[in-house]
């Protein structure tokens, strides 16, 4: 994937992270993609992600709101926005059409690295620094998090940085079990709430993927 921005960014390829149900799909998104090309690329990862079944949305990093992709111009605006903000990762989600009434415009969780200073200027971390941070946000057994939600955010960022996807085998406020999306891989994380202090910690894990 190219890493440069600026006047020569017309062929820039973004890393797309699309959440659907309990899975996270990683794809490459090129400048100039049409909406149908985006659906086709995601459809190769999951057959259920199709124009007939779902609506695609992306997270607008400067507003922390989800924007619905209805036509090709929306996709072009999405890539143009991320180019202008020097962001190589596009956070997306696929929402089933019968659920759109309740989720049309939602505030996103404060999980991205974009912040707004008091004078209104956006302070955007360089992509390379974000990737370095995210690749180390899951370190191993004994690591402590504020709660299950924080653990899930770190796990999602870790998956983006390492370009691996995972499934939830168990997912609630008391216990979260992650397994690799590749059935034969032994990668997994078991995390649960500490009864003594209500913090959330990794109990057991195997962070080595056994597939290439």
Segment 57-64 shows an average pLDDT of 83
Q: How confident is the model at residue 3 (pLDDT cuts 50, 70, 90)?
A: very low
Average pLDDT, the chain: 80
Going from the C-alpha of 114 to that of each of 10, 111, 127, 179, the distances in angstroms are 23, 9, 11, 29
Tell whether the model's pLDDT for residue 126 goes beyond 50.
no
In this prediction, residue 41 carries a pLDDT of 93
Rounded Cα distance between 137 and 103, Å, is: 29
Instruction: Tell me which H or E stretch contains 148.
Output: helix 148-162
Domains of the chain: 9-123 (3.10.20.90), 136-206 (no CATH)
Tell whether the model's pLDDT for residue 106 goes beyond 80.
no
């Amino acid at each position: 994937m190219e890493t440069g921005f600026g006047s020569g960014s017309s062929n820039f390829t973004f890393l797309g992270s699309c959440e659907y149900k309990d899975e996270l799909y990683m794809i490459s998104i090129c400048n100039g993609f049409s909406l149908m090309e985006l659906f086709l690329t995601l459809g190769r990862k999951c057959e259920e992600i199709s124009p007939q079944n779902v609506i695609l949305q992306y997270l607008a990093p400067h507003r922390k709101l989800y924007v619905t992709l209805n036509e090709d111009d929306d996709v072009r605006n999405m890539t143009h926005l991320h180019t202008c903000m020097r962001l190589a990762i596009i956070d997306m989600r696929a929402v089933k059409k019968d659920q759109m009434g309740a989720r049309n415009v939602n505030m996103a969780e404060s999980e991205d690295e974009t912040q707004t200073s008091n004078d209104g200027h956006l302070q955007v971390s360089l992509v390379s620094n974000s990737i370095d941070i995210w690749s180390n946000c899951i370190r191993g057994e004994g690591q402590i998090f504020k709660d299950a939600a924080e653990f899930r955010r770190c796990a999602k960022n870790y998956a983006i940085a390492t370009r691996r996807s995972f499934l939830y085998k168990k997912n609630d406020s008391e216990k979260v079990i992650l397994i690799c999306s590749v059935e034969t891989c032994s990668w997994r994380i078991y995390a649960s709430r500490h009864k003594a202090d209500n913090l959330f910690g990794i109990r057991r894990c195997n962070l080595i993927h056994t597939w290439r």
